[in-house]
Each structure stands twice: as C-alpha cells, then as structure tokens.
Chains A and B, each alone.
Chain A
C-alpha cells in the first residue's frame, strides 16, 4: 500500500485479556518499528525488526509484551494480561533500511488501546 497500515484503529479491552495489534509496513521497507505514546506523553520505543536479523527488544516494558514479524512484512504486537497502564496509542513505523541514518521513517496512524 501507499502507507503504513495499522489495525484496529481503536481497541477497548478488559483488564487481564490479551490483545493483538497489527502493522502492515510499506512494501519494500525492510525495517519496522513499534512505539507507544501514552496520553500527553512522548513516544516510547518498544521494538524493531530488520530483515532476518534478531529484533531489538530493548524497549519492551515487560515480558507481557511480544512482537513478531512474519515473512519480513506484517508485524503483530501482542500484549498479554493487559493492565490499565498499557492504555496508549501504539504506533508502527517502517523505513527503507535500519541502521542507515539517511532514511526517514513513515508512521502509521496508530492503534488506540484502552484497557478498562
């Protein structure tokens, strides 16, 4: 597609349930990133993928968070046993190449997650 697509755009879930958030990057972009943004806060890096390399998971806040990227394209961010503090907008971005600072990121519109 023309841009980074994320689904769902909004998700309301009960505390303790698991959720899956999906990201479709721009075709041909080998690098994919997940960020989250709590209300009124800045962007917090979560994880990135580059091709077949091991992902950088250094930003994941707890072991309840995991992500995978299948076939070097679509990525799914999974949050298990959701807590109220997980409520945030989860943003996905893709880039032509990771580790090459001469490329910009393209962000999706995000998934707004509300844990009640």
Chain B
C-alpha cells in the first residue's frame, strides 16, 4: 500500500479553521484518500474520503491536489470536541487489493479554548 506522511501534532484555537496536511507522493490511480479520527478512549470514526475531486460533508472538507500527491483535511471551525488523532489513509481499489485500512501514527490535533 502507498504510504502517507502527516505531521505528528498540530495546535489550533477554538472557532478557527484547521488545515491538516497529508502527503502521499506514491499514490496510485486507484487509491482513494480516506480520513478517520480517533477521539480519546473511542474507536476511530470515519470523517471523509475522496478520489480526485474536492469533497464536502457535514464534518469536514477534503481538498485534493491536482496531482493527487497531497491532500488537506479542513475543519471549518474547530471545537474542543475536535481534539483527536487524525489519520490519512490510502485505500486501493485495484484488483490486487485486500481493502483493509492500514493506520499510521496520524496527527494529534490539540484545540485550545
């Protein structure tokens, strides 16, 4: 599976936008970009995913670079409840894939009041 690179940690102020970057320079044409987050003492939670076009949902937006070698998860207004570990994961939709998510270390987001 292609790998992703994320900063270990980031800080944000409450009510401000947060941009969480992810580099995936070896991404293949069949890789979907998935984002999950894990709040303290909980299981991971699906946030958003995309292939080529930018995506929006009620939780966040996903901006994908034109060459697809990087992406950014955007939280439009951070709240204290958004403090979590955010994982950027590539999921291959190719025929050789087993489809399982392989989690890296993610980015620990701290939100300050």
Residue positions of A touching B, CB distance < 8 A: 4, 31, 33, 35, 42-43, 45, 48, 56, 58-59, 91, 93, 98-102, 104-110
**Distance A56 CA – B32 CA, assembled complex (angstroms):** 21
B101 and A105 contacting across the interface, CB-CB below 8 Å: yes
Contacts of A105 in B (CB 8 A): 36, 44, 46, 101
The residue on A at minimum CB distance from B46 is A104
30 A-B pairs within 8 Å (CB atoms) are namely: A4-B43, A31-B99, A35-B103, A42-B104, A42-B106, A43-B44, A43-B103, A45-B100, A45-B102, A45-B103, A48-B98, A59-B100, A98-B98, A100-B93, A100-B99, A101-B30, A101-B34, A101-B49, A101-B99, A102-B49, A102-B51, A102-B93, A104-B34, A104-B49, A105-B101, A107-B43, A109-B42, A109-B43, A110-B42, A110-B43
Contacts of A102 in B (CB 8 A): 32, 49, 51, 93
- Beyond contacts A42-B104, A48-B100, A93-B43: 11 other A-B pairs, Cβ-Cβ < 8 A, are A4-B43, A91-B43, A98-B98, A98-B99, A100-B93, A101-B97, A101-B99, A102-B93, A105-B36, A105-B44, A109-B42
- Which residues 21-80 of B sit at the A interface, judged by CB distance below 8 A? 30-32, 34, 36, 42-46, 49, 51
Contacts of B51 in A (CB 8 A): 102
**Distance A91 CA – B98 CA, assembled complex (angstroms):** 19
Contacts of A98 in B (CB 8 A): 98-99
Contacts of B102 in A (CB 8 A): 45
Q: How far is the CB of A37 from chain B (nearest CB, A)?
A: 9
Contacts of A109 in B (CB 8 A): 42-43
Interface membership of B13, Cβ < 8 A: no
The residue on B at minimum CB distance from A44 is B103
Contacts of B36 in A (CB 8 A): 105
Q: How far is the CB of A11 from chain B (nearest CB, A)?
A: 16
Contacts of A100 in B (CB 8 A): 93, 99
A56 and B43 contacting across the interface, CB-CB below 8 Å: no
Contacts of B46 in A (CB 8 A): 104-106
**Distance A100 CA – B92 CA, assembled complex (angstroms):** 8
Q: How far is the CB of A3 from chain B (nearest CB, A)?
A: 10
